[in-house]
């Protein structure tokens, strides 16, 4: 007997932008959108990996303007609706207005776990524009449950219709997800969502825990294409949840087809857990830091894992990508001094 419906939101064309180095082409977006629409995915996200306005030297320049990609995706969809991510301080209200003109029907306003108050005007604008409006609490492992509830209540008070527990570092374990989702279900009236990363190989287990605890919005990415070790794999999630008796509304064969016949063909590399992404989950580092860290490690000739461990100790968060190079330079400098031989007396 079917238990209840779960809304799977696909983030391939947004979170996957990190792995693609923000170089999605119009054709890649068009064909992926067609496949998602055919599979009857209700919402999927299209924007720079760091949200609207994210194309920059600090976060990475987009190959194609995201508004053009939104337009392309919207133009081929008869069923699916386009979501966009907006991080206050990166994206602006003007960016959101432009995204709506391009075809966006949902906005997910994302802040650090302790900074929900910066999202008030953006959430209110989302509601004014008639968008499905979501609050997205990133790096959810970095605050106690009580703080999570406090911040989620702020989102709800601003008008968020869904509030997400976002495991940006892939650092949470299933019992921690259960604890957080349960707390929000008990304290909020709006719907609850979960966004997972697979740096500790916990994405699917965490997703199942979230659904069982009452989350009704769940993120996934085709072939797990996303930052770090990627996200919960959409096509696998559809199969798992259907086997558990949940109704996803997504056609399993069609979602497998777009994953294998489209996304797998343009992925730059398989999404796997390697030493560096594993350390990201272990030390609680923002998943989108991975490629920046690899680049810094090569530049300074050091072990990228050392950079990630230090970033985790510093509790670095999204928006602090410049710290990656500062930390790398410091480690290289200290290593050079350590290995300098003492003069013979």
3 state SS for 78-135: CCCEEEEEECECCECHHHHHHHHHHCEEEEEEEEECCCHHHHHHHHHHHHHCCCEEEE
How confident is the model at residue 278, as a pLDDT? 92
User: Which CATH number is 24's domain given?
Assistant: 3.20.20.70
Cβ atoms of 187 and 157 closer than 8 Å = no
Last residue of a domain, one of 234, 266, 298: 266
Cβ atoms of 61 and 14 closer than 8 Å: no
Residues 194 and 290 reside in one and the same domain: no
Are both 229 and 295 inside the same structural domain? no
The answer to whether position 1 is within a domain reads no
Is 18 marked active-site? yes
**Are 75 and 40 part of one and the same domain?**
yes
Residue of 221, 198, 218 lying closest to 273 (CA atoms): 198
Residues 171 and 283 in one domain: no
CA 188 to chain centre: 23
Residues 147 and 124 in one domain: yes
How many structural domains comprise the chain? 2
Unique residue bearing structure tokens 């977006």: 29
Within a domain: residue 131?
yes
Q: Where among 266, 293, 312 does a domain terminate?
A: 266
Predicted local confidence at residue 343, as pLDDT: 39
Q: Does 2 fall in a domain? A: no
Contact at 8 Å (CB) between 76 and 33? yes
37 is an annotated ligand-binding site residue: no
Q: Where do runs of H (alpha helix) occur along the chain?
A: 16-19, 26-38, 66-75, 93-102, 120-128, 145-158, 174-187, 203-213, 234-243, 252-258, 264-266, 275-283, 290-300, 304-314, 322-338
Using CA atoms, how far residue 240 sits from 113, 154, 211, in Å, is 29, 33, 11
Q: Tens place of pLDDT for every residue, the chain, 345 residues?
A: 446 799 999 999 999 999 999 999 999 999 999 999 999 999 999 999 999 999 998 888 999 999 999 999 999 999 999 999 999 999 999 999 999 999 999 999 999 999 999 999 999 999 999 999 999 999 999 999 999 999 999 999 999 999 999 999 999 999 999 999 999 999 999 999 999 999 999 999 999 999 999 999 999 999 999 999 999 999 999 999 999 999 999 999 999 999 999 999 999 999 999 888 898 899 888 777 888 888 889 999 999 889 888 888 888 876 677 788 888 999 998 887 754 444 333
What's CA 289's distance to the chain center, in Å?
12
Give the domain range for residue 131.
7-266
Domain boundary among 220, 246, 266: 266
286 is in an annotated binding site: yes
Q: Is 122 annotated as a binding residue?
A: no
Establish if 309 belongs to a structural domain: yes
Consult the annotation and say whether 80 binds a ligand. Answer: no
Task: Answer yes or no: is 63 within a domain.
Answer: yes
Neighbours of 332 (CB within 10 A): 18
Which is the catalytic residue, given 18, 22, 48, 112?
Answer: 18
Residues 199 and 244 in one domain: yes
Mark whether 176 and 299 lie in a shared domain: no
Alpha-carbon distance 12 to 230, whole Å?
A: 10
Distance between CA atoms of 218 and 208, rounded to whole angstroms?
10
168 marked among binding-site residues: yes
**Does residue 73 form part of some domain?**
yes
Same domain, 253 and 306: no
Contact 73, 33 (CB under 8 A): yes
Bridge partners (DSSP) listed for residue 18: none
Q: Are residues 216 and 282 in the same domain?
A: no
- 197 marked as binding residue: yes
Half-sphere exposure of 210 (CA within 13 A, CB side): 31
């Amino acid at each position: 007997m079917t238990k209840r419906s779960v809304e799977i939101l696909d983030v391939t064309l947004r979170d996957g932008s990190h792995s693609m180095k923000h170089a999605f082409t119009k054709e890649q977006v068009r064909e992926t959108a067609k496949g998602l629409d055919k599979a009857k995915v209700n919402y999927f996200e299209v924007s720079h990996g760091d949200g609207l306005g994210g194309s920059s030297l600090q976060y990475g320049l987009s190959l194609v303007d995201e508004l053009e990609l939104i337009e392309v995706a919207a133009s081929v969809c008869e069923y699916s609706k386009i979501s966009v991510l907006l991080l206050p301080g990166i994206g602006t209200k003007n960016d959101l207005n432009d995204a709506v003109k391009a075809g966006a029907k949902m906005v997910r306003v994302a802040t650090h776990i302790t900074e929900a108050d910066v999202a008030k005007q953006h959430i209110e604008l989302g509601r004014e524009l008639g968008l499905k409006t979501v609050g997205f609490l990133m790096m959810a492992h970095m605050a106690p449950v009580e703080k999570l509830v406090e911040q989620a209540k702020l989102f709800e008070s601003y008008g968020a219709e869904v509030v997400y527990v976002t495991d940006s570092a892939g650092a949470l374990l299933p019992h921690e997800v259960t604890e957080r989702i349960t707390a929000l279900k008990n304290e909020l009236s709006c719907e609850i969502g979960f966004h997972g990363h697979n740096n500790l190989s916990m994405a699917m287990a965490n997703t199942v825990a979230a659904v069982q605890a009452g989350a009704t919005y769940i993120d996934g990415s085709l072939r797990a294409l996303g930052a770090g070790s990627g996200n919960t794999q959409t096509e696998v999630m559809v199969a798992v949840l259907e086997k558990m008796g949940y109704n996803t509304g997504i056609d399993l064969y069609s979602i497998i087809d777009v994953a294998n016949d489209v996304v797998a063909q343009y992925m730059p590399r398989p999404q796997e857990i390697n030493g560096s992404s594993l350390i990201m989950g272990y030390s609680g580092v923002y998943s989108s830091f991975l490629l920046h860290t690899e680049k810094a490690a090569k530049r300074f000739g050091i072990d990228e894992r050392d950079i990630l461990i230090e970033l985790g100790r510093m509790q670095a968060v999204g928006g602090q990508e410049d710290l990656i190079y500062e930390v790398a330079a410091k480690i290289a400098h200290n290593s050079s001094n350590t290995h300098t031989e003492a003069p013979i007396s």
